[in-house]
Structure 1
Amino acid sequence: MTVYRFPKDFFWGSASSGPQTEGRFNNDGKGDNIWDYWYRQEPDKFFNQVGPDKASYGYIHYKEDIQLMKKTGHNSFRTSIQWSRLIPDGVGSINQKAVAFYNDFIDELIANGIEPFINLYHFDMPVALQEEGGWLSRKTIDAYVYFAQTCFQLFGDRVKYWFTHNEPIVPAEGGYLYQFHYPNEQNLKHAVQVAFNEALASARAIEKYHQTQDGKIGIILNVTPTYPRDKNNPEDVKAASIADAFFNRSFLDPAIKGQFPKDLVTIIKELDMIPHHTAADLEVISKNTIDFLGVNYYQPRRVQAKEKAIGKTANQPMPEDYFDYYDMPGKKMNPYRGWEIYEKGIYDIMITIRDDYGNIPCFISENGMGVEGEERYVNKDGQIEDDYRIEFIKGHLRYLHQAIEEGANCLGYHLWTFMDNWSWTNAYKNRYGLIAVNLDKQGERTIKKSGYFFKELSKYNGFED
């Protein structure tokens, strides 16, 4: 039997976001964000036409939810403050109903021994700002800094762990390259500008935080380890390095090192796509790096050298002009999400952070398994027996434990997610939660088998095999 024990005061919990859990209710004062708008325009793009207004009813069930967190062993929980709920137009007047809600939510977490981890931006751009360009506009950077300062002033006396963005690569790639987020463009030049503006906004928020607060502030990055098809083939290795620069180091480097990766800058210069910026912007990014890194890990990226010559055109260059994806035979898959399950990836990320990023304090901020049709696994007592999720968690924790034993400075593990929640255009197609949510019964909650497992995991600060 092998015993996996984690460091003292390890953070056990889960992650979610305001737009994915809160929902919308009459007279709640929330303004429209891009998801509210897009759903009204094209409801057919959303699985079963379920929109963000049905997002798990967390706005009215939060006290029950926090009791369920306690029952499933949480000592910490990450969510986000919805920009469009707190400041309905992105700038201007503050929604006092939102202030009361978030105050009560935070107080309730603390009263139940659950450390609040609060993220600021989780893909929920207020429509009024999107109409002026969204992250393409410097006005949005200024508005975001105002939003961040407002949050720090309102809640910073109790919240000691803040995060500027969740997965900032996603608004760039989803909204401006691969068309799975609004505004559905395919324009690498715009994607580069969006990424730069997000990095600058993050640094400016960090600067404001350190001027007035005494907690920790970081960023949540989806770090997808990139593996070459053949590590002994220089062309495959080069292709993997370029993919890593586009999708990982583009945010890791400025967040932790205060500068952008040189190989990526070289490519962007060759494409004549250097984003609009000033020398002062670069100084702000250089001087205002993170205290604490959140790592979201779901799957690896496997890459090979281009089999054909680079096919970019003057109008539509793409990152994939520099590499091809490699479909590795025999890989383990989650067939519902279409993602490879590769547990060792979590170890490789931790070692990279240890060796290449100064072993900055970090935690696993998301890791999870989405499964469609979980009602197939309901037992006679009405509980979902999600043994596959328990094995998924254990498999990743074994490798995380090994990385910590080898010196990785990892302080916690947050599962995605606490309860089944709304997931953008996928809505509730794939369920990730420790808690099942029944939308037909106003969001009725039921603990899954994995929820009871997680309680034991937290109680014993580890598990045995």
Structure 2
Amino acid sequence: MSIKYKFPENFWWGSATSGPQSEGRFNKKHDSVFDHWFDIEPEAFFNGVGPNVASNFYNSHKEDLKLIKEIGLNSFRTSIQWTRLIKDFETGEVDEDGVRFYNEVIDECIENDLLPVMNLHHFDLPVELYDKYGGWESKHVVDLFVIFARKCFELFGDRVKHWTTFNEPMVIVEGEYLYQFHYPKIVDGRKAVQVMFNLNLASAKVIEAYKEMGFHKEGGQIGIVLNLTPAYPRSNNDEDTMASNIADSYFNTSFLEPAVKGNFPKILLDILEQDGVIWQATEKELEIIKNNTVDFLGVNYYQPRRVKAKESEFDESKGWMPDKYFDNYEMPGRRMNPYRGWEIYPQCMYDIAINLRDNYDNIPWYISENGMGVEGEEKYINEYGIIEDDYRIDFYKEHLEYLHKGISEGSNCFGYHTWTPIDCWSWSNAYKNRYGFIAVDLATQKKTIKKSGRWIKEVAQNNGF
């Protein structure tokens, strides 16, 4: 067959999951904020399904990684849970079962020719650090996170050469402190801004520790995974463009600029100063952020943000919010994924690629998540018991075509990971929408490769399609 879209040599064809979404709570000595939220409010989770079992990766990682190898992937990202690895958060004393488990996962990846990419934080803050210190509101928690990270590097850095500090740190800010979709569901714009700073600081301090420990000399690299939702203005008029620039500075470049360039976007700083909600930061902390930028970037892309100049009345009663400066815009005729309520806009892949090429020093980057969540996939099962998810294959092809265009125009992209290899638990959505190449039957935990899983194997083998 002829390959129309050929990708660079040694391209990562892979898929991503996380500890809290795949492992289950088996033998975990501490609870994360999500474990706790499920314990106190199970009805907040779709069909009352929490993280207790997830896709049973704690027990079935050997079989699961073999399946991931079987669908032809060459790389795999997951995360190390702070709540599983560490017994004592203040001293960094480890839990032996946690060490055993992650060693097995990493060794099993290598055994299956899967490059392990390890992430350190995927929304799973230990709840006791929230109760005791306010979680990411606290700089002490930032330092405890560095202790955890150092422990991970020390234990696993000999085999894991690609690390990321955070997955989607902006979602912590939005979910916990603005829009109430993650526990503790606070609405406090001022705290949100401090948390934004503290997460940037935590990432830089972890990078600093990684450098100090000498892993770069051994070919190690450390980055961050950001969900980029580029803000497109409703029109080219000045008011709409300004609104989209402000939204972009809050939701995208507030993490992108510090990660890649070591500073914060001026437009954001000006607004936070003028509104009297700027974070508390020392000169030394700003120096640390400046001097500890990422080696590479992971980009999670699902949907664009569309923005217009503020038209609705801003509700002052909630205090300061970024929404003071823009309204979200529903573009007429947009394509939608009806199950997720998200717009499908594959062209954005190209726009991200060119933006990183032109405005971010053409940093090495990869797509760390891209995917399509669909409800009720069982209705697409054929007579052989296989889910025929052609809609997912089409979604991936379209996005890859635009990514390929960006690469062919010089963007330094080295890989494409989907969300997710095996249907996984998804926060309060639980298993409502499925994303995997491999289906999981929750009642039996039986796992079956979908049609898309056979498709990606061919893509990976041909390094294109």
Instruction: Give TM-score scaled by structure 2 length.
Output: 0.97
Cα offset for 1:91? Answer: 3.3
- The 1-side partners of 2:280 and 2:97 are apart by 38
**Aligned-residue offset at 1:315:** 5.0
How do 1:51-62 residues align onto structure 2 when only pairs under 5 Å count? Answer: 51-62=50-61
Alignment CA distance shift 1:315-1:334 (3 Å):
closer
CA contact (8 A) 1:218 1:293 kept: yes
Query: Which residue is 1:43 aligned to?
Result: 42
Q: What residue number does 1:159 align with?
A: 160
Does residue 1:11 correspond to 2:12, yes or no?
yes
3-state DSSP of counterpart to 2:94: coil
Which of 270, 276, 282 aligns to 1:278? It is 282
2: CA distance between counterparts of 1:70 and 1:264? 44
Is residue 393–residue 455 contact of structure 2 (8 Å, CA) maintained in 1? Answer: yes
Cα distance, 1:274 vs. partner? Answer: 1.3
Paired with 1:387 and 1:459, the residues of 2 have a C-alpha distance of 19
For residues 247 and 37 of structure 1, the distance between their equivalents in structure 2, rounded to whole angstroms, comes to 27
Deviation per CA, 1:141-167: give whole Å up to 9, x if none: 011000000000000000000000000
Post-superposition shift, 1:319? Answer: 1.3
In the alignment of these two chains, the number of paired residues is 458
Q: Which moved more, 1:88-97 or 1:35-44?
A: 88-97
Q: Which amino acid aligns with 2:45?
A: F
Question: Which of 215, 222, 225 is the matching residue for 1:220?
Answer: 225
Once superposed, what is the RMSD of the aligned Cα atoms? 1.1
Q: Is the 8 A contact 1:91 1:147 kept in 2?
A: no
Separation (CA, whole Å) in 1 of partners of 2:167 and 2:87: 20
Q: Does 1:328 align with 2:331?
A: yes
Q: Which amino acid aligns with 1:12?
A: W
Aligned-partner SS, 2:374: coil
Match of 1:251 in 2: 255
Equivalent AA in structure 1 for residue 413 of structure 2: C
Would the aligned equivalents of 2:28 and 2:84 in 1 still touch at CA under 8 Å? Answer: yes
Aligned pairs (5 A) from 1:35-434: 35-92=34-91, 93-131=93-131, 132-212=133-213, 213-214=215-216, 215-231=220-236, 233-308=237-312, 311=314, 313=316, 316-434=319-437
Tell me, yes or no, if the aligned pair for 1:32 and 1:88 is still in contact at 8 Å: no
Tell me how far apart the structure 1 counterparts of residues 277 and 88 of structure 2 sit (CA, whole Å).
31
After TM superposition, give the deviation of residue 314 of structure 1 in Å. Answer: 7.0
Preserved contact between residue 90 and residue 128 of structure 1 (Cα < 8 Å)? no
Would the aligned equivalents of 1:89 and 1:126 in 2 still touch at CA under 8 Å?
Answer: no
Q: Note closer, same or farther for the CA distance 1:379–1:247 as it changes in structure 2 (3 Å cut).
A: same
Find the aligned partners of 2:345 and 2:28 in 1 and give their Cα distance: 43
State the partner residue of 1:456. 458
* Whole-angstrom CA distance in 1 between matches of 2:390 and 2:290: 45
Q: Secondary structure at 1:54's aligned position in 2?
A: coil
Deviation at 1:318, TM superposition (A): 1.4
Tell me the distance in 1 between the aligned counterparts of 2:252 and 2:435: 24
When the two structures are superposed, what TM-score results if normalisation uses the length of structure 1?
0.97
When residues 29 and 334 of structure 1 are mapped into structure 2, their CA distance, relative to the original with a 3 A threshold, is: closer
Secondary structure of the residue that 1:227 maps to in structure 2? strand
Kindly tell me: are residues 419 and 356 of structure 1, through their superposed partners in 2, closer, same or farther at Cα, counting changes over 3 Å?
same
- Give the Cα separation in 2 of the matches to 1:29 and 1:22: 10
Amino acid at match of 1:289: T
Supply the distance in 2 between the matched residues of 1:39 and 1:307 (Cα, whole angstroms). 37
Q: In structure 2, how many angstroms separate the alpha carbons of the residues matched to 1:237 and 1:117?
A: 37
8 Å Cα contact 1:31/1:89 also seen in 2: no
| CA positional deviation for 1:306 | 1.3
* In structure 1, C-alpha distance between the alignment counterparts of 2:315 and 2:240, rounded to whole Å: 19
* 2:17/2:78 contact within 8 Å kept: yes
Amino acid in the other structure paired with 2:254: S
Deviations along 1:8-47, one digit per CA (max 9) or x if unpaired, are 000000001000000022xx24311111111110000000
Kindly provide the amino acid, as one letter, of the partner of residue 71 in structure 2.
T
**SS class of match (1:4):** coil
> Structure 2: how far apart are the matches of 1:201 and 1:149?
12
Query: Contact 1:29–1:88 (CA<8 Å) still a contact in 2?
Result: no
User: How many angstroms apart in 2 are the aligned matches of 1:204 and 1:159?
Assistant: 19
Distance 1:306 1:73, change over 3 A: same
Q: Distance in 2 between matches of 1:296 and 1:422?
A: 18
- SS of the residue corresponding to residue 272 of structure 1 reads coil
Q: Distance in 2 between matches of 1:234 and 1:29?
A: 53
Provide Cα deviations, 1:29-72, integer angstroms capped at 9, x if missing partner.
43111111111100000001111102100001100111111111
For structure 2, the 5+ residue unaligned runs are none
Counterparts of 1:328 and 1:347, CA distance in 2: 20
Q: Note if contact 2:364-2:414 (Cα within 8 Å) is conserved in structure 1.
A: yes
Distance 2:343 2:59 in 1: 36
Give the unaligned 5+ runs of structure 1.
none
For 2:94, give the aligned amino acid.
I
Q: Distance in 1 between matches of 2:278 and 2:75?
A: 40
Residue 67 to residue 170, structure 1, CA distance change in 2 (3 Å)? same
User: Which amino acid counterpart does residue 457 of structure 1 have in structure 2?
Assistant: V
